[in-house]
């Protein structure tokens, strides 16, 4: 699995864990960075920070365009895969749009095959 794909998965782990535990995302990220087991790479941390920085707008867009799904009714994993994908699509200038979409789909498929997350 390429390094950035692994980083996306690790970012998803952090976002998921924070939401499940009801903890502030950036506080949990700091804990995971200090703990370093499993490690949180720079790109994973960048994704978590970026999603958090733009979360209000990302969630507005998800709420507006998700047909048949209210944001709070989406499974936590799905919601956070979409958040990462939207962040990369709209704010990660070094990630081509097609790559952002493809990686979000691949991450969703990976989790479909392996429904457990490391928390």
d(CA 26, CA 4): 20
What is this structure's pTM? 0.90
Give the list of residues 6+ apart from residue 72 with CB closer than 8 angstroms, or none: none
Give the list of residues 6+ apart from residue 10 with CB closer than 8 angstroms, or none: 38, 39, 40, 41, 44
**What pLDDT is recorded for position 84?**
98
Do residues 20 and 76 lie in contact, with contact meaning Cβ atoms separated by under 8 Å? yes
d(CA 21, CA 37): 18
d(CA 17, CA 20): 5
For residue 97 the two structure tokens come to 């749009």
Decide which of 1.10.3720.10, 1.10.287.610, 3.30.70.1070, 1.10.940.10 is the CATH code for 3-113: 1.10.940.10
Mean pLDDT, 10 residues at a time, over the chain (119 residues)?
91 97 97 91 97 98 93 94 97 96 93 55
Determine the length of the chain.
119
């Amino acid at each position: 699995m390429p390094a950035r794909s692994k980083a996306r998965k690790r970012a998803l782990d952090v976002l998921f864990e924070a939401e499940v535990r009801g903890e502030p995302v950036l506080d949990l990220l700091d804990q995971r960075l200090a703990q370093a087991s499993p490690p949180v790479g720079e790109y994973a941390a960048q994704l978590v920070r970026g999603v958090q920085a733009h979360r209000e707008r990302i969630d507005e867009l998800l709420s507006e365009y998700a047909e048949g799904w209210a944001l709070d009714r989406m499974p936590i994993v799905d919601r956070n895969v979409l958040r990462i994908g939207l962040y990369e699509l709209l704010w990660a200038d070094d990630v081509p749009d097609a790559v952002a979409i493809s990686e979000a789909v691949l991450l969703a498929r990976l989790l479909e095959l392996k429904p457990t997350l490391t928390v």
